[in-house]
Structure formats: C-alpha cells, structure tokens
C-alpha cells in the first residue's frame, strides 16, 4: 500500500490549475446561467475518463431551478459496508451577486476561488483515488454539489435522500482555498460535538504529514449561517468539517477576498497556490486516514 504521505506527493499542482482555469473559462456556473451546463459537461467528461470510478448524478430542484449534484465513487475491492463512508465535497456552482447590476442569467460569475479551487481539488482526488482503490476499506464519495450559492440547496437535497442509519462517517468540505496572499491560513469549521473528533483528526493530520497550513483556526458553527456544504450534514449530526478562507475575522493573516461573489473572482486572483496545494493535501490526508 502506498503510504498516505506518498499519495499526497502525487497531487499535481499543474492539473489543479488547469481544472480551475477551465471551470472559470465558462464565464459563469450560476445555476440560472446557460453556461452552467458547460461545467456539468466538463465534470462528467473529466470523471468519465478515469478508469475504476463510478460516476452518478443526483438531480434536484429549488424554486423551479434544476440542480445537478455529481458523484464520483471510489469503492474498495471488497464490498463496501452500509455505513462508514467518507465524503469529500465541494460546490461547483458560482455566483456574482456582489457585482453591481448583476444578472444571474447573463452576468459573469467565474468563481475561480469560489469554488474553482475546491472543485479542482476533487477532480485531482478522483484521478488519485482511482489508483488507490485497492487500499480502501471504506467507500469514498467525491461530491460535486450544485446550488450551494443558494444556501447549500444541492447538498441539503442529497442529505434528504440518505437512508437511516446514514451511511457517512465523515464529511470533509473544501471551499475557497487559493486567494490568501498573506499567510497559509485556513479556517476549520466544525459542527456540534459530533464533529469534534473529525476536527482533531484534521489538525493532527496537518502536523503528522507536515502539510503546514498555519494558522489552522477551528471555529464552531452552530447554524447554517456559514453557507457551506458541510452545514446540512454537520447540523444533522454527521461528523462534518470544512476548510475555507472566508469565515474568520479579517486580520494580519487574511485580508478577505475582495473578489468574493463578484465578476472579478478570476484565475489571476488565485495568488496563493502554495496554500491551495496544502489545503488539497490536508483534506485528502484526513479522508484517507478514515477510509483505509
């Protein structure tokens, strides 16, 4: 079995950048924009080209707007159990409602940082996990959620389809991780006491694999106000965490991403690719520790 540290070294920063640039190039991934379909096609094309992955769609609707969650599943060669699954998730939709005169159907919403960075990480996990399937004891689900910018409607709809007992032992969310020009800082959002163990496991993984996210700032979220795909799962009692640049107070380690939810969230604003790579390693290391 390839050691986790060796799997982390296989993450290809050039591939991350290619995926993020491609996703931003569609102009908008807003669920009300016609080019949203181009993002769906891109994800399916990329995932479909990877041998050994199962790709599934889950369709939902919100206020008459169709949503499509896309899943890439890496299963162990032994039959996966009904519980103990590990999810890594990122939303691929975008929005630019902070830009003046914004029109969801026609305005740009490139979403390079939010959340081209996280979506690209998931695409890279798909490539790598397909090669690590034989080492997995648990099913790993890569969830590309839609409608997050409408208050996590895609992930919440998916949560509603899960049987009891819920199959997931952990949900790890990655959202906006490439902007911060000041420090390799991430906020680590966690939900209820049920998520504390997962939070501590990620903090330990940051040290054990010398990933170097610093500071890594735990923050308890007691509601969905953080607007992250981890929220519906965490508030439902599933151990859930999110790594994100966005929710701490702006301070000397983070100036705030001034392009957030604007037409200016473009690839040239991804100014900390080292942080992006660290975040990508951190979520994968945590997931692999749980799934092996």
Which is closer to Zn ion, CB of 114 or CB of 146? 114
d(CA 95, CA 99) in angstroms, rounded, equals 10
Which is closer to Zn ion, CB of 30 or CB of 175? 175
Please check whether residue 60 is in contact with residue 42, taking contact to mean a CB–CB distance below 8 angstroms: no
Q: Indicate whether 119 belongs to the interface with Zn ion (CB under 5 A).
A: no
Q: Indicate whether 114 belongs to the interface with Zn ion (CB under 5 A).
A: yes
Q: How far is the CB of 148 from Zn ion (least distance, A)?
A: 6
Q: Indicate whether 187 belongs to the interface with Zn ion (CB under 5 A).
A: no
Q: How many residues does the chain have?
A: 292
Distance set, CA 80 to CA 74, 76, 126, 143 (Å): 10, 6, 18, 17
Q: How far is the CB of 91 from Zn ion (least distance, A)?
A: 6
Which is closer to Zn ion, CB of 146 or CB of 175? 175
Using CB under 5 A, pick the residue from 28, 94, 96, 115 that binds Zn ion: 115
Q: How far is the CB of 228 from Zn ion (least distance, A)?
A: 7
Distance set, CA 21 to CA 101, 109, 265 (Å): 25, 13, 11
Could you say which residues in the range 155-184 bind Zn ion, by CB under 5 A? 175
- Residue 160's DSSP bridge partners are none
Which is closer to Zn ion, CB of 124 or CB of 175? 175
Which is closer to Zn ion, CB of 75 or CB of 149? 149
């Amino acid at each position: 079995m390839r050691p986790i540290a060796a799997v982390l070294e296989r993450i290809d920063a050039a591939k991350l950048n290619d995926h993020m640039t491609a996703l931003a190039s569609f102009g908008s991934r807003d669920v009300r924009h016609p080019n949203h379909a181009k993002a769906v096609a891109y994800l399916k094309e990329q995932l479909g080209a990877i041998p050994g992955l199962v790709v599934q769609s889950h369709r939902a609707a919100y206020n008459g707007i169709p949503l499509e969650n896309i899943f890439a599943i890496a299963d162990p060669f032994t039959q996966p159990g009904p519980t103990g699954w590990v999810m890594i998730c990122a939303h691929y939709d975008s929005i630019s409602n902070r830009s003046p005169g914004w029109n969801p159907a026609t305005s740009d919403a490139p979403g390079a940082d939010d959340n081209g960075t996280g979506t690209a990480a998931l695409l890279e996990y798909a490539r790598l996990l397909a090669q690590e399937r034989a080492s997995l004891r648990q099913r790993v689900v890569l969830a590309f959620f839609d409608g997050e910018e409408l208050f996590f409607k895609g992930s919440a709809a998916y949560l509603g389809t899960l049987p009891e007992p819920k199959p997931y032992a952990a949900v790890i969310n990655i959202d906006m991780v490439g902007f911060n020009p000041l420090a390799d800082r991430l906020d680590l959002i966690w939900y209820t006491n049920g998520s504390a163990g997962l939070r501590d496991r990620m903090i330990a993984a940051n040290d054990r694999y010398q990933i170097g996210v610093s500071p890594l700032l735990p923050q308890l979220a007691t509601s969905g106000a953080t607007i992250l795909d981890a929220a519906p799962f965490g508030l439902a009692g599933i151990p859930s965490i999110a790594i994100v640049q966005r929710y701490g107070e702006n301070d000397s380690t983070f100036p705030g991403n001034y392009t957030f939810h604007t037409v200016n969230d473009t690839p040239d604003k991804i100014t900390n690719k080292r942080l992006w790579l660290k975040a990508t390693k951190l979520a994968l290391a945590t997931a692999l520790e749980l799934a092996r």
